[in-house]
Amino acid sequence: MKRKLTLLIVTVLVMLMSTGIALAQSNNQKDCTTIQSGEINYSDNHYLDTVHVGYDIFGYNYQAHMFKGSYANVYLGGNGYPPYNGDDEAYYQRLVEEGYADNETDAETMMDGKWYWSNRNIELKMKWNDPWISNKDCDGDGLLDRHYGHDSYIGSGAWLTNQMKGGDGKDKWTYFTKIVAVPKDATTDDGNWYTADGSEIGPVIWGQFVKVQTVESGYGATYVSPSGPGLGLYK
């Protein structure tokens, strides 16, 4: 009888704890600002002001965690420039009209100085999960959250996929890669991330991230992580 009573008390405590956690999560969600509210902004100096549902003029759909467009448009908006639509001459003229340059020659020179400009004709598709870039603002800074609840991306479980294609005719090519945030106990050595037990995760990229799979046209899978190429494996 005593054992049954103890088990009953433990069961009730577990239920109460689970309910408390669920209520806390629910309250946290209620405190989050959504894109639909019209109160979430782009970062300072961005070409746009307020984030809205659906694709923006650069190709970002933050509600759906997706991007589709010119490689250059990944960076142009954040650098304060208008989106590129595939016509170089028209773009340089637009930069002059909007006061970024005195003439089209200066505009061309200015853009040639941007590292990503040479990739403007590459078509890029990206998908990511909530820890990478959320579609909510839960920390109250007016921006979409990144690695919410974590000091950095390390250990956040964030992931991103990049799918690129470019070239014409026989020179057409495609490239696909999976990028994930490394776990907290990961270590680096000679340009690669490793798990705590020494298993290779993959090549270092952007400091806190690692490539776990790469697929290239004509070659197939050129890299597959020995620790596994799946998304969401590391937290």
User: In this predicted structure, what is the pLDDT of residue 234?
Assistant: 87
For 130, the 3-state DSSP assignment is coil
In a domain, 8, yes or no: yes
Total of domains in the chain: 1
In a domain, 10, yes or no: yes
Q: Cα separation of 13 and 8, whole Å?
A: 9
In a domain, 205, yes or no: no
The model's pLDDT over 36-68, given as tens digits with 9 standing for 90+, comes to 999 999 999 999 999 999 999 999 999 999 999
Q: Determine the residue type at 32.
A: C
In a domain, 14, yes or no: yes
In a domain, 142, yes or no: no
CB atoms within 10 A of CB 208: 18
Q: Cα separation of 18 and 15, whole Å?
A: 5
In a domain, 19, yes or no: yes
User: In this predicted structure, what is the pLDDT of residue 44?
Assistant: 95
In a domain, 52, yes or no: no
Evaluate whether 176 touches 215 at the Cβ level (below 8 Å).
yes
| Ordered per-residue pLDDT tens for the chain, 235 residues | 544 444 444 343 334 444 443 434 444 556 899 999 999 999 999 999 999 999 999 999 999 999 999 999 999 999 999 999 999 999 999 999 999 999 999 999 999 999 999 999 999 999 999 999 999 999 999 999 999 999 999 999 999 999 999 999 999 999 999 999 999 999 999 999 999 999 999 999 999 999 999 999 999 999 999 999 999 898 7
In a domain, 6, yes or no: yes
User: In this predicted structure, what is the pLDDT of residue 30?
Assistant: 63
User: In this predicted structure, what is the pLDDT of residue 29?
Assistant: 54
**Residue span of the structural domain in which 6 resides:** 2-31
